[in-house]
Chains A and B, each alone.
Chain A
């Protein structure tokens, strides 16, 4: 009997840990270990091609990075593309979710439809958009031509390349965020709206006074997630260049941090330097996530 009791107690106390263990084991292997190992590598002069020969150099990689104009250039590009894509994206997602929340015909298929861009292959999407933004035969330039605007060499300039890349990001992620907002909107009690309507609130007023404040935690969540994604952007600028060179255009005008890291790691084979960039990117994302969290919470509170 005593054995059974012990087993029982073990079961109630121990099982929950067993149930959550797979996540922590996987996280330890695929998350924590690479994180720490990358940190170790970043303190070394580590040549990837040279059979992994390496030498401890302390903070030298970080010092070099801070003085590297290409690093700051990449950071600036990343922030620019992040702002250009995240802000309109989340606003558009909010609006789309609001529309989908109404009684519509074929509502379910419309709701599923907004997710379609997200499940298409990122490579395919980018290639299609790169064609659309083509200099000589792209559809966007053709449309601009119709309204009398001369062709834009989308890849050549900083602003135009950032705009084009942001469009790709927005196309992929707006629907995804819209669905998250929609789910959250449906949890808002309906009597709130009914009461507001009785008081004579217009749909716009209802949206800003009821919907948005109630979505506060969701907005924080999507902003943080979009920030993490936005700061890591790599495939889009890499493919946008069309020639799979990781320099992000003739003058690095759309080289992002992740792309710069990739260039240093897998073209220059400077594994230590690339790891230092990785860790810095990690730090930047952490700072952004915290600032984001504080700011969005503030804004949402003010509106209440």
Chain B
């Protein structure tokens, strides 16, 4: 009995993962009737609550259950469900960082067909397309990039707070962003850093490079691509200038950081706006949005997939298609700020002219659609999400003062090589 306990751990871990999510997948259909319950598994806020109600009203036989987990747990669970061929929801969201890994096991997903190809940003459509041309996911949003900042803190530090002036101050690149940060730090309110944490900043900087962690042949180029190292050095420079609040993105402390006003700027893909709104309600109107230094880039954005193992694949396909259809993407942008991946929407007045009172009436429609049009798509390989986490850990070691930049870089590169095994 004693011995068996330890051996069961692996099984127990899998069972726990399943048990944790089982509550969502259970109870699918009412006894014998046409009632169908579709489960939708997401990470974070996709802004679907109102849409579900409408869909349920239009389809009286459909009930929708949403379940959410945090970013890492969600993708790990999904992979486990695919591996064990049980437990996945009818619709599973997948982030850009993980879409390539899922694409590699594309036979586990329902082919969504090519009818909607022309609607999408071409690179968005391509990224979820398997080698043999099957579409495994409908794109929901794209990240785009901007910088969200606290105008009140800028003012207190004696900096210009107007968004055009702020955008202009760092328009020429991240060096200027760091320079402004140094200026900010001199007079900033006590306990306020310039940005949230090195890991998040890194994602934004690398998101602008034409080539990131992978070549298009799926080989990892972290150690050989100068862009990866350049972005690292830049973030280390910002950390060593004491601009970082040293918070890890999406950790409980990071959430706290919003509420306590621990940082003045944050790299801001469109989906980040929803997080800011959720975490810093008290600072409504004090946030603003400026353009990102050094031109367009992308960080994040998601897909809705339909795993084959689901019980209601046909219904799930219909729901996924509807949730990602132009009208719904437009609605999610106006309510939640998630930038559509359907470019035809960018020129619509309700999108392009959208302003957000939470962000001091910033023209978020214009800022993000401009960013999306300028965006140079970057190829994402199978372990992109895990590489991102590994590099973040490396930067955290520098932030914690445990290692020099060089030591940490060496360890990061060898950790990434381990991932490739």
Enumerate chain A interface residues (CB-CB to B < 8 A).
27, 30-32, 34-35, 38-39, 48-52, 127, 130-131, 134-137, 153, 156-157, 224, 228, 231-232, 234, 242-245, 247, 250-251, 258, 261-262, 265-269, 271, 274-275, 278-279, 281-282, 285-286, 289
Q: How far is the CA of A267 from the CA of B402 in the complex (A)?
A: 25
Give min CB distance, A21 to chain B, whole Å: 16
- Tell me, yes or no, whether B8 is within 8 Å of chain A by CB: yes
Q: B419, A268: Cβ atoms under 8 Å?
A: yes
B249: chain A residues at CB < 8 Å are 243
Q: How far is the CA of A286 from the CA of B3 in the complex (A)?
A: 7
A31: chain B residues at CB < 8 Å are 1, 4, 7-8
Identify the stretch in B109-117, B121-129, B389-397 within 8 Å (CB) of chain A at 4 or more residues. B389-397
Enumerate chain B interface residues (CB-CB to A < 8 A).
1-11, 13-14, 17, 70, 72-73, 76, 79-80, 82-83, 101, 104-105, 248-253, 256-257, 260, 262, 386, 389, 393-394, 396-397, 400-403, 411, 419, 421
Q: A134, B2: Cβ atoms under 8 Å?
A: no
Q: Which listed residue (B8, B248, B256, B401) contacts A35, Cβ 8 A?
A: B8
Give min CB distance, B32 to chain A, whole Å: 33
Shortest Cβ distance from B73 into A: residue: A244
B252: chain A residues at CB < 8 Å are 127, 130-131, 134, 242
Q: Is the interface of A mostly helix, strand, loop or mixed?
A: helix
Give min CB distance, A180 to chain B, whole Å: 17
Q: How far is the CA of A228 from the CA of B394 in the complex (A)?
A: 33
A153: chain B residues at CB < 8 Å are 400
Which of A35, A231, A279 counts the most chain B CB atoms within 10 A? Answer: A35
Q: A243, B248: Cβ atoms under 8 Å?
A: yes
Q: How far is the CA of A289 from the CA of B6 in the complex (A)?
A: 13
**A49-B105, A242-B253 known; A34 vs B7 contact (CB < 8 Å):** yes
Q: A281, B402: Cβ atoms under 8 Å?
A: no
Q: Which listed residue (A127, A232, A289) contacts B9, Cβ 8 A?
A: A232
Q: A242, B251: Cβ atoms under 8 Å?
A: yes
A232: chain B residues at CB < 8 Å are 5-6, 9
Shortest Cβ distance from A123 into B: residue: B20
Which of B83, B401, B403 counts the most chain A CB atoms within 10 A? Answer: B83
**A136-B262, A251-B402 known; A282 vs B80 contact (CB < 8 Å):** no
Q: How far is the CA of A279 from the CA of B6 in the complex (A)?
A: 8
A131: chain B residues at CB < 8 Å are 252
Q: Which listed residue (B17, B82, B253, B411) contacts A49, Cβ 8 A?
A: B82
